[in-house]
Amino acid sequence: MARSRTETVILYAVVISVIVILVFPLYWMFNTSLAPSTQLRRFPPVFIQPEPTFAAYERIFNERPVGLWLRNSALVALASTALSMFVSILAGYSISRIRARGSQAIGLFFLMSRMLPSTLIIIPLFVSFRQFQLIGDLKSLVLAHATFITPFAVWMLKGYFDTIPSELEDAAMIDGCTPLSALLRVVLPLSAPGLAATTLYGFVLSWNDFVFARTFLVANQDAWTVNVGVASLKGEYLTEWNEIMAGSLIAMLPIVLAYLFLERFLVSGLTAGSSK
């Protein structure tokens, strides 16, 4: 369909101005992270840094334990995702393939668990974790994050297993595979993209958590995740905004990259369980 010249100009003008407005906060974050501290408490604001500096980045790594926070976040995300994936692969496969009495109800339970408010579940978890002396320990987060990764992963994986014809496993078993090795050697390699996407998203969910990390770890600074640490840089009276922006950018960069890969998986994965 041909468009007139005016229409094209208007379209571009609209697209560019809308995008500038929506993305500006991210630019402002980046711009602030490159600003020298002296500039932050002065007007007018500087929209393009004449002499960008990485001083804020250097300071947060040298004077604040950002490296440690990043390591903690990564450890928790890896462990909670591994734990969730192990149980979710088996459960998702079971729900996808075998009609057993009660397994529908279990599947529905996982679906409903995705709606669980974390501000409710955190109360009894806090009580139990304190009893087992897990408060202040990264292990508490690994378990807490599994509460929201597992229900999601079961459904996303079930969706992938549904797309793989079960004749393939039947054939493998006729050739002498046990059901478990058919799952491991036939189904899992075929669902590699789905497994990768689910794992990556589990990692993202864990990395993004704030409420559990803040509540369970607040007293133990060495165990802080990057979200808790960066949020703590906001001071009561004086905030070095260039440092907090540099920290935020570093903390969100892996997540933004993950989303670029995940986008098309997420549209189908998040809506799993509803009709198309």
Partner 1 sequence: MTSQSFGQGEPALRRLNGVSPRWSLWQPGNRQLFAYLLLLPAVLLTAAIIVYPILSAIDLSFQRIKIAKLGRERAPLTLRNYEELFQSPEFFQAIWVTISLVATVTLLSYVIGLATAVMVNQQFRGRKLARILVAVPWAVPSVMAAIIWWWLFDSSFGLINWALVRSGLSGEMIPWLSTPGAATFVIVIVMVWKGYPFISVIMLAGLQSIPLELYDAAKVDGASAWGRFRFITLPGLRSVRGIALILIMLWVFRDFPIIYLLTGGGPQGTTQTLAIMTYQEAFKFHDFGYAAAIGVITLIISVVASWFMVRRSDEPLF
115-174 residues near partner 1, rule: CB under 8 A: 115-128, 130-131, 143-144, 146-147, 150-151, 154, 173-174
User: In the stretch 199-238, what mask flags binding to partner 1 with x, by CB under 8 A?
Assistant: --------xx-xx---x-----------x--xx--x----
Give buried/exposed letters for 228-238 (b at 16+ CB in 10 A, else e).
bbbbbbeeeee
* Spatial CA neighbour of 84 closest among 203, 250, 238, 255: 203
Give buried/exposed letters for 162-197 (b at 16+ CB in 10 A, else e).
eebeeeebeebeeeebeeeebbeebbbebbeebbeb
Nearer to partner 1, 50 or 237 (CB): 237
Smallest separation (angstroms) from partner 1 to the CB of 141: 12
Helix (H, G, I), strand (E, B) or coil at 46: coil
The footprint of partner 1 on residues 51-110 (CB under 8 A) is 83, 86-88, 90-91, 93-95, 97-101, 103-104, 106-110
* Spatial CA neighbour of 88 closest among 194, 6, 185, 11: 194
- 27 alpha carbon, distance to own chain's centre: 22
Smallest separation (angstroms) from partner 1 to the CB of 6: 14
Query: Does residue 40 touch partner 1 according to CB under 8 A?
Result: yes
Smallest separation (angstroms) from partner 1 to the CB of 59: 17
Amino acid type, 274:
S
* 8 Å CB contact between 143 and 212: no
Smallest separation (angstroms) from partner 1 to the CB of 218: 9
Nearer to partner 1, 5 or 99 (CB): 99
- 50 alpha carbon, distance to own chain's centre: 35
Smallest separation (angstroms) from partner 1 to the CB of 259: 4
Compute the 3-state secondary structure of the chain and give helix, strand, coil in percent, each to the nearest 5.
75, 0, 25
Size of the site for partner 1 (CB under 8 A): 105
Nearer to partner 1, 53 or 94 (CB): 94
The footprint of partner 1 on residues 182-201 (CB under 8 A) is 182
Nearer to partner 1, 194 or 225 (CB): 225
* 8 Å CB contact between 191 and 161: yes
In the block, which residue shows the tokens 């907090």?
244
Smallest separation (angstroms) from partner 1 to the CB of 56: 13
